[in-house]
């Protein structure tokens, strides 16, 4: 991905709100969504975010975001250039839809969902809770760990989720019981949407991975931490995860994030990636500097409070490695498939991307403004993720909301 005139920080839009330094969606971002006017039964339409408005792409002949995702990166860049020229200051103004008057659905059809485990600080912290003598399994530093999730329960930001039920086995009990989870947790992640896919049986190389990456969205892979320990061995999470995954309605394209690429490095004493997951070009710019935040709000709080902040640079495996490894056995990725990064925690205690880590497994509650304490989420609690990339000389690029509320079990 190259930096070009669409990243010029001095470029302004005729949409006044897009020129606000605090906006998530300046002219240099142009994220995609699927929307319609609130309170109507209009068909869902593909839109582009600009400030606090949406540009409807139906007049452009774009009615299917998955079809757009399938196009080569050269065509997607050409569309970005056309959007930029349409919305920049001095261009003729066209009709827009205020975001406040719109409702959103999932941005595209998600055929398959895979959740990776690329946050090594999260892996170590959780490993210490579950396996104190062996927190980081020996394969972690050699292979990008992942499992297939449930795409049918992926929901858009703002969707309420019922507290799930499942088998829970207390440490001092002889048998498990079926009950509502008492340890609902968040996971601070980004989701990578696949662009052009690959044919079944046809893997691709690490330096081809960018061609298969369309864009990123915020992702909260909700977790029931009391269900998970009993069920996850030997095959991995099941009911503890598949009751709901929340994503932002917006997809920030890889082209918009080009200025925020940074070198991908490993500690010299760690195992280095195997050749199929490594190259000089990959090491030069495969990581990303994207700030990630967790915000919490109880029913008694007037405003949410930030409880954690991390960064995608802490990921142990890159987005390109996730894609390349996923297809390395010939698995056919398809446009609109979603790959979660796994929880991205940093090395410091306040950079933890889950309540499980922040509360040391529920042993040390966090104290919120107003004095309320939480270990895990109670009914009515809301949790939101935020993300943005910023760098001197470039406009701040945001990801929009990724919010959810937990409601009582059925």
Cα 260 to Cα 236: distance, rounded to the nearest angstrom: 34
In 22-176, which ranges are E strands? 32-37, 45-50, 53-56, 97-98, 102-105, 113-116, 146-148, 154-156, 160-162, 165-168
- Give catalytic status of residue 7 as yes or no: no
Task: Count the neighbouring beta carbons within 10 Å of the beta carbon of residue 270.
Answer: 12
Complete DSSP assignment for 1-62 = ----GGG-TT--BSSGGGG-TT-S--TTT--EEEEEETTS-PPPEEEEEETTEEEE-GGGT-
Q: How far apart are CA 75 and CA 196, in angstroms?
A: 11
If we measure between CA atoms, which residue out of 57, 55, 44 comes closest to residue 98?
55
Nearest Cα residue to 387 out of 220, 244, 223: 220
Question: Which residue among the candidates 7, 81, 121, 122 is catalytic per the annotation?
Answer: 122
Distance CA 361, CA 303 (A): 26
Name the residues annotated as catalytic.
122
């Amino acid at each position: 991905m190259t930096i070009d005139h669409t990243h010029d920080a001095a470029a302004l839009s005729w949409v006044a709100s897009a020129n606000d330094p605090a906006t998530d969606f300046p002219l240099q971002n142009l994220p995609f969504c699927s929307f319609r006017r609130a309170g109507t039964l209009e068909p869902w339409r593909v839109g582009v975010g600009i400030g606090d408005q949406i540009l409807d792409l139906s007049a452009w002949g774009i009615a299917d975001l998955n079809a757009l995702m399938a196009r080569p990166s050269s065509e997607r860049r050409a569309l970005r250039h056309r959007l930029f020229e349409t919305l920049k200051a001095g261009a003729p103004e066209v009709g827009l839809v205020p975001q406040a008057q719109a409702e959103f659905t999932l941005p595209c059809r998600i055929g398959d969902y895979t959740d990776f485990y690329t946050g090594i600080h999260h892996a170590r912290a959780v490993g210490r809770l579950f396996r104190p003598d062996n927190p980081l399994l020996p394969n972690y530093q050699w292979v990008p760990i992942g499992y297939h999730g449930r795409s049918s329960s992926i929901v858009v930001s703002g969707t309420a989720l019922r507290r799930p039920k499942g088998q829970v086995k207390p440490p001092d009990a002889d048998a498990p019981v079926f009950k509502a989870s008492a340890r609902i947790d968040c996971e601070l992640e980004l989701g990578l949407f696949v662009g052009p896919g690959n044919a079944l049986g046809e893997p691709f190389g690490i330096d081809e991975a960018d061609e298969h990456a369309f864009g990123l969205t915020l992702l909260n892979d909700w977790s029931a931490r009391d269900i998970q320990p009993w069920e996850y061995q030997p095959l991995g999470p099941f009911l503890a995860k598949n009751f709901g995954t929340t994503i932002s309605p917006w997809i920030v394209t890889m082209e918009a994030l080009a200025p925020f690429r940074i070198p991908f490095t490993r500690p010299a004493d760690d195992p280095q990636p195997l050749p199929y997951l490594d190259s000089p070009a990959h090491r030069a710019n495969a990581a990303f500097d994207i700030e990630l935040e967790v915000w919490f709000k109880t029913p008694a709080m007037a405003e949410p409070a930030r409880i954690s902040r991390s960064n995608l640079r802490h990921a142990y495996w890159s987005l390109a490695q996730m894609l390349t490894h996923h297809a390395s056995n010939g698995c056919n990725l398809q446009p609109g498939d979603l790959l979660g990064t796994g929880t991205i925690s940093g090395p410091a205690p306040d950079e933890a991307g889950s309540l499980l880590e922040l509360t040391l497994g529920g042993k040390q509650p966090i104290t919120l403004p107003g004095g309320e304490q939480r270990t895990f989420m109670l009914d009515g609690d809301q949790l939101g993720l935020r993300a943005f990339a910023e760098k001197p000389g470039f406009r701040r690029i945001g990801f929009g909301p990724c919010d959810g509320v937990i409601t009582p079990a059925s």
